[in-house]
Chains A and B, each alone.
Chain A
Amino acid sequence: MHAVATMKPDASKIPPPLASLTGVSKRYGKVLALDNVDLQVRAGEVLAMLGPNGAGKTTAISLLLGLQQADGGKAELFGLAPKSLAARRRIGAMLQATEVPDTLKVGELIALFRSYYPHPRSIDECVALAGVGDLLDRRYGKLSGGQQRHAQFALAIVGNPEILFLDEPTTGLDIEARTILWKTIRQLVAEGCAVVLTTHYLEEAEALADRVCVLAGGRVVAEGSVAAIRARVSQRRIRCISSLASKTILCWPHVRSVTQDGEHIEIVTDVAESVVRKLLDADAGLSELEIRRAGLAEAFVEITREAA
């Protein structure tokens, strides 16, 4: 009953998932936070959960961590109940809404969390990975927001986890701090740690994830590799400087939107080739032509709009 994946005949070579939600539903009063969600986390992969606020990302993480109980379906960690101590010893987590006591020093917090695990990382290792070396002697409450996130990250990795759950890990971090954290996450993944990540930052998913799962209204509306998700959206962006009026272009076939950005015009279209041909025909003086495929950001907006 535990290893759902191995029951499928063609999946005999795929090892069972480390963590899974199977047909999970969760309701808060009248709000259906998760509606029949299936999700699997496999060894060594980075799974990014994307979705607008209220999509059910944090609820999905809470169920996988055993902090909440599903109303229907099943959540498992290593084939065990997520609440069990044996399962929780093999994970690490950085939760979104955690306020660590202000009065404790970072070094004291790390020592406390180390004692929870059978095979913890050394303090030196945590310091090196999370970049908290100069923070050990400082009280948590005296740290900046970014430093607090680093300290929380140190607590998440202290137990040498096989899966790391990161609920919006870089919210509020500046670009430099974010880049450092990404580097550390990549290093952990290279060592074989699986990561489940929720994020608002699409570039974060693009930079880190092997697989993306888009939630909207409590349902999985898209799942696959970053490239596959991106390919679901056929849109291209055309950018150029032209004397043509935006209104004129908007009337052309296949044009979805036209925006004026300073002297640049930006056109979103499904069929870039025919629009570009028309542009060049209509305006001989057109310059700085640029065509881009939609990023994850556009794909995401598209997919969640379709689902709504």
Chain B
Amino acid sequence: MNAIVENAVPRATSHGAFRSYALEAKCEFLRVLRTPSASVPSLMFPPLFYLLFGILLNRGNSGAAHYLFATYSVFGVMAPSLFSFGVAVAIERERGWLALKRVAPMPPGAYLLGKMAMAMLFAAIIYCVLALMACTLGGVRLPPEQWLLLGGIALLGTMPFCALGLVIGSRANASAAPAFVNLIYLPMAFLSGLWMPLTMLPKIIGQIAPLWPAYHLSQLALMTVGQVPATGIAVHLLWLAGFTAICFAIARRWLARVG
């Protein structure tokens, strides 16, 4: 994994590694663009969920509308991060494409940053769709800076899930990876109170919620829309940063074994 995560040679940037980074992101974008059968459902899934459970089942309660918009934004950005890293990395690893690019040698980080840029672009699209639904159908009213701040949190919030996805992608079979991702994605969303406030769920679920990265991200999102008091921001940020770092470290170790 040295060629990807480790900053092996300082000279790596001397011959325009920038160009590699840009091309890597471009190829990742083209790959997704040219497989609409995979990318469209992953873009549609969170908005549909939001439409059903966040808008149609919630009639006119303004507090709930704001709560659910914040938590569904988190739910929405988790998907592209987990899937593009968890599933796509597993496939490219298993098919030997990752090995060939490492031998080639792809500059450190280009692979990850290309994928991360793509996950963020998808997250931005999903957030925009959710926001459009929220202000037209969902009765969500926020000042412009809060829309933007929430969008910013959603975008940066892709990082811990990219890292978690990478852990899955560095180990799982390509055919099992989607199942693994869903097995983590959907229960974690529920247990972190993204679909229903934790106060409405059994007490134990609320007590263990701080174990999940989605919980910490959702707390930051809820603070932005004024649904929870803005305290302990640093703790949530630190927790997410630590989680991201640990996941990247594990993935690096595991990927090193496969070349």
Evaluate contact between B103 and A91: CB separation under 8 angstroms.
yes
Evaluate contact between A98 and B96: CB separation under 8 angstroms.
yes
Evaluate contact between A112 and B259: CB separation under 8 angstroms.
no
- Verify if A86 is at the interface (C-beta below 8 Å from B): yes
Give Cα distance in the complex from A6 to B30, angstroms: 50
User: What are some 13 contacts across the A-B interface (CB < 8 A)?
Assistant: A66-B259, A67-B103, A85-B9, A95-B103, A98-B96, A100-B100, A101-B97, A111-B23, A112-B20, A112-B23, A112-B27, A116-B20, A116-B101
- Verify if B16 is at the interface (C-beta below 8 Å from A): yes
Kindly count the residue-residue contacts between A and B in the assembled complex, taking CB atoms under 8 Å apart: 88
- Verify if A195 is at the interface (C-beta below 8 Å from B): no
Residues of B within 8 A of A84 (CB): 2, 8-9
Residues of B within 8 A of A155 (CB): 100, 104
- Verify if A104 is at the interface (C-beta below 8 Å from B): yes
Closest to A81 in B: B2
The 7 closest A-B pairs by CB, nearest first: A67-B259, A99-B95, A88-B105, A103-B34, A98-B96, A115-B20, A118-B15
Evaluate contact between A68 and B34: CB separation under 8 angstroms.
no
Give Cα distance in the complex from A99 to B104, angstroms: 15
Residues of B within 8 A of A99 (CB): 95-97
Evaluate contact between B35 and A103: CB separation under 8 angstroms.
yes
Q: Interface residue tally of chain B, by bracket? A: 20 to 34
- Verify if A89 is at the interface (C-beta below 8 Å from B): yes
A interface residues with partner B (beta carbon < 8 Å): 62, 65-68, 83-86, 88-89, 91, 93, 95, 97-101, 103-104, 108-109, 111-113, 115-118, 139, 155, 159
The interface bits of chain B over 238-249 (1 if a CB of A lies within 8 angstroms of the residue's CB, else 0) are 000000000000
Residues of A within 8 A of B5 (CB): none
CB distance from B194 to the nearest CB of A (A): 32
Give Cα distance in the complex from A155 to B27, angstroms: 15
Evaluate contact between A116 and B30: CB separation under 8 angstroms.
no
Residues of B within 8 A of A62 (CB): 259
Q: Given A108-B27, A112-B23, A155-B104, decide whether A98 and B99 contact each other with a Cβ distance below 8 A.
A: yes
Q: Given A67-B259, A85-B3, A98-B97, decide whether A115 and B23 contact each other with a Cβ distance below 8 A.
A: yes
- Verify if B19 is at the interface (C-beta below 8 Å from A): yes
Evaluate contact between A115 and B259: CB separation under 8 angstroms.
no
Residues of A within 8 A of B26 (CB): 108
CB distance from A129 to the nearest CB of B (A): 17
Closest to B16 in A: A115
Evaluate contact between B100 and A68: CB separation under 8 angstroms.
no
Q: Given A104-B30, A108-B30, A111-B23, decide whether A67 and B99 contact each other with a Cβ distance below 8 A.
A: yes
Evaluate contact between A103 and B31: CB separation under 8 angstroms.
yes
Which of B24, B30, B95, B103 lies in contact with A103, CB distance below 8 A? B30
Q: A85-B108, A103-B30, A155-B100 are in contact. List 18 more A-B contacts (CB 8 A).
A: A66-B103, A67-B99, A84-B2, A85-B9, A85-B107, A88-B104, A95-B96, A98-B96, A99-B97, A100-B97, A101-B97, A108-B30, A111-B23, A115-B16, A117-B15, A117-B104, A139-B34, A155-B104
Q: Given A103-B30, A103-B34, decide whether A95 and B16 contact each other with a Cβ distance below 8 A.
A: no
Closest to A68 in B: B259
Which of A65, A83, A97, A101 lies in contact with B2, CB distance below 8 A? A83
Residues of B within 8 A of A112 (CB): 20, 23-24, 27
Evaluate contact between A95 and B100: CB separation under 8 angstroms.
yes
Give Cα distance in the complex from A111 to B16, angstroms: 13
Which of A83, A95, A98, A101 lies in contact with B31, CB distance below 8 A? A101
Residues of A within 8 A of B24 (CB): 112
Evaluate contact between A85 and B12: CB separation under 8 angstroms.
yes
CB distance from A101 to the nearest CB of B (A): 6
Give Cα distance in the complex from A100 to B108, angstroms: 20
Q: Given A103-B35, A115-B16, decide whether A89 and B105 contact each other with a Cβ distance below 8 A.
A: yes
Closest to B17 in A: A115
Residues of B within 8 A of A86 (CB): 9
Give Cα distance in the complex from A93 to B26, angstroms: 23
Give Cα distance in the complex from A68 to B256, angstroms: 8
CB distance from B110 to the nearest CB of A (A): 8
Residues of A within 8 A of B191 (CB): none
Give Cα distance in the complex from A93 to B30, angstroms: 24
Residues of A within 8 A of B9 (CB): 84-86
